Amino acid sequence: MEVDCEGCAGCCLDWRPLTADRDAGHERRGERDPLDDVYNLVPLTRDDVHAFLDAGLADAMRPRLWKPAARDDAVTIDGHEVAAIGDRPVFFVGLRKPPKPVGPFGVEETWLPTCAFLDPETLQCRVHESETYPDECADYPGHNLVLDAETECERVEDAFGGERLVEGTPPEDLDAPAFGPQAVGSKVFVYPDPADLDGVVGRLAADDLTTEDRARFVAVAAASAPGPAPSNRTAAKRPTNAPSPSRRGSAPRPRSGTDSRTRGVDADASLADGVEVARGAPETPGWTVGSDQ
């Protein structure tokens, strides 16, 4: 598998506002629609969650809940039906996409929802090859190739030309995608008490989650164990090192790419130096011939 990522980052940001296809539900695998509108959410494993907690980066994470498919258990919270096991909501933990000034595919820099860890200037990942580099990112787009599903690379090629998926044979050492019951506790998590989520689900659907809301889910994911979901409700303990605001990540934003902080602010990728790098975010190397990031 060989990809050309220079000047792209199509899998790390929400580029729907740049195209007429902006309502497409790309990457929303399966039959369930999420309650949120985050594009290409990176689902984190339990080990990823622990790595982010250990690194003090809890605030970069957010939950995803789903509308139930026809045969799913479901529970209604804040007027929203959510997919559940019994009456306990199931969820992913993913990475947040705050607005950043980026210019992918050669377009003029503009505010787009962008992964908390993408360097807007180089369009490279700040955690590439670090302890916190998510498994899902390391495997992308290998699982799509195995499943014969369109990759983000090919979508970018269709919309903006060029060759992004240079050689489309998936790596032989690719881990199998975690689907189905075996993913429970390691990638799909179960929230123990739906009563805890009164108000939270409404804020999630309105793209208005608080730090405390996100922390609830991160704590449950971190305390989860792989295997069948328990048959009774168990109170999840919050890990002692869990969720507190970190130096990276900021509040979610409307999908247009602007919010109260960015409205009227010219999109300039060099702003990242004063916001992210100044707060300790690792710098990225930039592109050299043969670079594969």
- List residues binding ligand SF4 (CB under 6 A): 12, 42, 95, 115, 117-118, 125, 127, 134, 137
Taking the C-alpha atoms of residue 62 and residue 246, their distance in angstroms, rounded to an integer, is: 13
Nearest of 35, 32, 34 to residue 71 by alpha carbon: 32
**Burial of 3 (C-beta count, 10 Å sphere; 0-12/13-18/19+):** buried
Nearer to ligand SF4 (CB atom), residue 141 or residue 185: 141
CB of 193 to ligand SF4, least distance (A): 30
CB of 284 to ligand SF4, least distance (A): 10
With a CB cutoff of 8 Å and minimum separation 6, the contacts of 65 are 34, 35, 36, 82, 83, 89, 90, 91, 201, 204
CB of 50 to ligand SF4, least distance (A): 16
Nearer to ligand SF4 (CB atom), residue 12 or residue 221: 12
Nearer to ligand SF4 (CB atom), residue 160 or residue 191: 160
Nearer to ligand SF4 (CB atom), residue 117 or residue 160: 117
CB of 118 to ligand SF4, least distance (A): 4
Nearest of 198, 190, 181, 245 to residue 220 by alpha carbon: 190
